[in-house]
Amino acid sequence: MSKTILVTGGLGYIGSHTVVELQENNYNVVVIDNLSNSVKDVADRITSITGKPVKLYIADVNDSASLEALFELEAIDGVIHFAAHKAVGESVQDPFKYYRNNIDGMITLQKIMYHYQVKTIVFSSSCTVYGDTKNSPIVETHPVTEAISPYGTTKLVCEQILKDLCKHSGFKGVILRYFNPVGAHSSARIGELPLGVPDNLVPYITQTAAGLREKLTVFGNDYNTPDGTNIRDYIHVVDLAKAHVKALDYAFEMHQNCEIFNLGTGKGHSVLEVIKAFEKVSGKNLPYVIGARRAGDVEQIWADATKAEKLLRWTCQYDLSAMMKDAWKWQLAFDDSQ
């Protein structure tokens, strides 16, 4: 019989792509989402891709009564936990919002999972836990003691809570540390929803190309990298979503344990390389200027993802140009739908 998976934040950017992959791999999916950074319509968009309805609870994972009601009604076998705030800059301005929402949400969810003896969980973490390191490619055993923002701290604390529960309370946990997720589903029916001025590079690029922003500012070209701009490991969101299904399969099969996996392509690209790749697939000239460095930016970071490749039997299928193509397709489809 198919297993039933609760996906918290299942209408968000990575959550929605993961729900598609779960449904396409015959998992039953129940979503809980408070719509704080998503819209209800995403559920219908998912269905238009998979042909399967999304069972949706509009509620907050911090609300233990709603969560308990959900666990009473649904026979949940495992959980993928995405629901969290994710803006690094905002977390510096308002750290308590991040501690309260992200850490409390994790505790509330784990407590109810424990109560209902649901102990299989995949947790959404970030390469931000590695802080400002110069040791790329980064392996999972790299020290993670210095978070560079309150957002990063919430990821570290949640990882630690899960490790405890795996050690002492019979949980089976998989922690996924994402590098830079970009792109959208190739159907252009789901993608990252723009909310105000984007902080992240790729939505900023596509919005600029679409004429919604005047120009892109490249944050510094005086770094110690080949072209002077920052290097990141960009990963297609569909590759990332597929890794969640593999991680869940892995978690169900393993014994009480906690495993951590980096999810990236293993390749670093500079900001200027991303711009060039975008220009090539879109046929557009992107207006940009070189500006000052952005506070808190790590110079260069990319993943060693061999552990995920070996143990999860997962590899990335999409390269940078496919990421840019799908990001652009999504931008155009989104503009048309407005």
* Contact between 216 and ligand UFG per CB under 6 A: yes
CB of 290 to ligand UFG, least distance (A): 9
* Contact between 144 and ligand UFG per CB under 6 A: no
Q: Which CB sits closer to ligand UFG, 126 or 153?
A: 126
* Contact between 232 and ligand UFG per CB under 6 A: yes
Name residue 195's amino acid.
L
Of the candidates 247, 219, 27, 236, the residue with the CA atom closest to the CA atom of residue 125: 247
Q: Which of 13, 27, 151, 178 is catalytic?
A: 151
CB of 316 to ligand UFG, least distance (A): 17
CB of 193 to ligand UFG, least distance (A): 15
Which class for 164: exposed (0-12), middle (13-18), buried (19 or more C-beta within 10 A)? Answer: middle
Bridge-based pairing state of the strands 28-33 and 4-8: parallel
Please give the residues from 153 up to 192 whose contact with ligand UFG meets the rule CB under 6 A: 180
Phi, psi angle pair for 149, to nearest 5°: -155, 160
* Contact between 128 and ligand UFG per CB under 6 A: yes
Contact string (CB under 6 A) for ligand UFG, positions 275-304, x = contact: -------------------x--xx------
Q: Which stretch binds ligand UFG (CB under 6 A): 14-22, 59-67, 95-103, 122-130?
A: 122-130
123 CB contacts (<8 Å, ≥6 apart)?
A: 81, 106, 158, 159, 162, 173, 174, 175, 176
* Contact between 114 and ligand UFG per CB under 6 A: no
CB of 271 to ligand UFG, least distance (A): 5
Q: Which CB sits closer to ligand UFG, 88 or 165?
A: 88
Burial 270-287 (b: 16+ CB within 10 A, else e): bbbbbbbbbeebbeeebe
**Which residue number is nearest to ligand UFG in terms of Cβ?**
230
The DSSP code sequence of 84-97 is S---HHHHHH-HHH
What pairs with residue 79 in β-bridges?
6, 121
Cβ-defined contacts of 310-316 (< 8 Å, 24+): 311/250, 311/259, 311/261, 312/243, 312/246, 312/247, 312/250, 312/261, 313/246, 314/242, 314/243, 314/246, 316/235, 316/236, 316/239, 316/265, 316/266
User: Is 288 one of the catalytic residues?
Assistant: no
Q: Which CB sits closer to ligand UFG, 59 or 92?
A: 92
Q: Among all chains, which residue has been given the structure tokens 């309805």?
A: 53
Which residue from 18, 230, 262, 265 is in contact with ligand UFG, where contact means CB under 6 A? 230
* Contact between 88 and ligand UFG per CB under 6 A: yes
Q: How many positions of this chain bind ligand UFG (CB under 6 A)? A: 20
Give the distance, in angstroms, between the CA of residue 274 and the centroid of all CA atoms in the same chain. Answer: 19
CB of 218 to ligand UFG, least distance (A): 4
CB of 200 to ligand UFG, least distance (A): 3
* Contact between 201 and ligand UFG per CB under 6 A: yes
Which residue from 271, 305, 308, 312 is in contact with ligand UFG, where contact means CB under 6 A? 271
Chain contacts with ligand UFG (rule: CB under 6 A): 86, 88, 126-128, 180, 199-201, 204, 216-219, 230, 232, 271, 294, 297-298
Catalytic residues: 151
